[in-house]
């Protein structure tokens, strides 16, 4: 299989802000391209020759930064890592003006920040692709890698049973979108005070019902993992919530993923988007077990994001 033989609509969608910009068919096509790139990593070393990607990061990063910078390098392009304080954005220049300047000089932007509104405003005024590298509301790039990892493991997505345990955060929001679109059954197990966004949850339920899958939420952990194919968790305290850490450690204590809990679902794999706080949301024993897919998830960020970059940037007809 070659990239040319995959019916991927180049530059459609132009932006990746939540994941809803893609159809389920386009997501599958993107995963097909990522599979090919993973198998033949050097075959497309000139795919993005002459292209430049800006990385505007307000939040610290390991996997997002590595995958985009290495991905651009492996595809023949280059990247520019920029902190908001390095830009006039940090001195009051409007997003509208910055987006228009970026659009005149580079080919795409990855933004990793707190506010979803900032990413969407950049996309509103930019004439180049804008990629959400993480906000407090969504993390679509991680979800693409997660879907890729699950398809590698199970050779399918439709009908899988994914159970997420922990905080109703940006990862849950992105999982709600992805699961409902891809006919995955998804259950959130979280404390009552830490539920996901109600509007996103209800929207996912509507989409899932059309795709014959199930979106559920419960607040009790006992027995809730039974039948799961995948058990997923994330940190209990996200970036920007550090002042709540002590309180959250107490309120999430019973939601830890450990070997005792996983006995409820002996055939399930374990996933975590990283970084992990071992001894909090997951034990070191689970992280190191043969059920853990965390390192595959991390590596697959590179392959999927290379496919995404080709999809969004490899189009000389972009309006400049």
Residue in 74, 142, 161, 256 annotated catalytic: 142
Residue in 63, 107, 139, 151 annotated catalytic: 139
User: Which residues contact residue 320 at a Cβ distance below 8 angstroms, ignoring those fewer than 6 apart?
Assistant: 103, 104, 127, 128
List 162's β-bridge partners, or say none. Answer: 186, 230
Residue in 36, 112, 173, 248 annotated catalytic: 112
Instruction: Give the integer Cα–Cα distance in Å for 22 and 15.
Output: 9
SS (H, E, C) 125-144: HCCCCEEEEECCCCCHHHHH
Is residue 278 part of the annotated active site? The answer reads no
Is residue 216 part of the annotated active site? The answer reads no
> Are the C-beta atoms of residues 272 and 233 closer than 8 Å to each other?
yes
> Are the C-beta atoms of residues 98 and 87 closer than 8 Å to each other?
yes
Local structure of 164: helix, strand or coil: strand
Please tell me what DSSP assigns to residue 215: E
Instruction: Give the integer Cα–Cα distance in Å for 83 and 60.
Output: 10
Is residue 234 part of the annotated active site? The answer reads yes
Measure the N-to-C terminal CA separation of the chain; round to a whole number of Å: 32
Residue in 14, 173, 301, 303 annotated catalytic: 301
Residue in 14, 107, 248, 273 annotated catalytic: 273
Is residue 139 part of the annotated active site? The answer reads yes
Is residue 305 part of the annotated active site? The answer reads no
Token reading at 302: 């590179």
Instruction: Give the integer Cα–Cα distance in Å for 111 and 58.
Output: 8
Q: C-alpha distances in angstroms, 309 versus 67, 95, 189? A: 11, 23, 34
150: part of which helix (H) or strand (E)? helix 140-154
Residue in 36, 234, 272, 303 annotated catalytic: 234
Residues designated as active site: 112, 139, 142, 234, 273, 301
């Amino acid at each position: 299989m070659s990239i040319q033989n995959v019916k991927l609509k180049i530059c459609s969608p132009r932006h990746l802000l939540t994941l809803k910009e893609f159809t389920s068919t386009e997501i599958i096509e993107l995963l097909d391209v990522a599979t090919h790139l993973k198998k033949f990593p050097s075959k497309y070393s000139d795919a993005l020759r002459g292209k430049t990607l800006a990385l505007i990061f307000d939040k610290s990063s390991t996997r997002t930064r590595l995958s985009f910078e290495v991905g651009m390098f492996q595809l023949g392009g280059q990247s520019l890592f920029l902190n908001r304080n390095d830009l006039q954005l940090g001195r009051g220049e409007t997003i509208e003006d910055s987006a228009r300047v970026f659009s005149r000089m580079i080919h795409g932007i990855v933004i990793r920040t707190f506010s979803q509104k900032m990413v969407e405003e950049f996309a509103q005024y930019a004439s180049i692709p804008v990629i959400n590298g993480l906000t407090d509301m969504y993390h679509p790039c991680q979800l693409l890698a997660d879907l890729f990892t699950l398809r590698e493991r199970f050779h399918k997505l439709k009908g899988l049973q994914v159970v997420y345990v922990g905080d109703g955060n940006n990862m849950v929001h992105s999982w709600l979108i992805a699961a409902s679109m891809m006919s995955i059954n998804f259950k959130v197990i979280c404390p009552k005070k830490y539920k996901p966004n109600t509007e996103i949850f209800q929207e996912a339920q509507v989409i899932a019902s059309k795709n014959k899958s199930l979106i559920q939420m419960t607040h009790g952990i006992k027995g809730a993992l039974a039948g799961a194919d995948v058990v997923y968790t994330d940190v209990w305290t996200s970036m920007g919530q550090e002042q709540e850490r002590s309180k959250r450690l107490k309120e999430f204590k019973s939601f830890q993923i450990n070997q005792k809990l996983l006995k409820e679902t002996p055939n399930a794999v374990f996933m975590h988007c990283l970084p992990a706080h071992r001894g909090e949301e997951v034990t070191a024993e689970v992280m190191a077990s043969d059920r853990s897919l965390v390192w595959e998830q991390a590596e697959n960020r590179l392959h999927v994001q290379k496919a995404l970059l080709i999809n969004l940037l490899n189009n000389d007809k972009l309006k400049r």
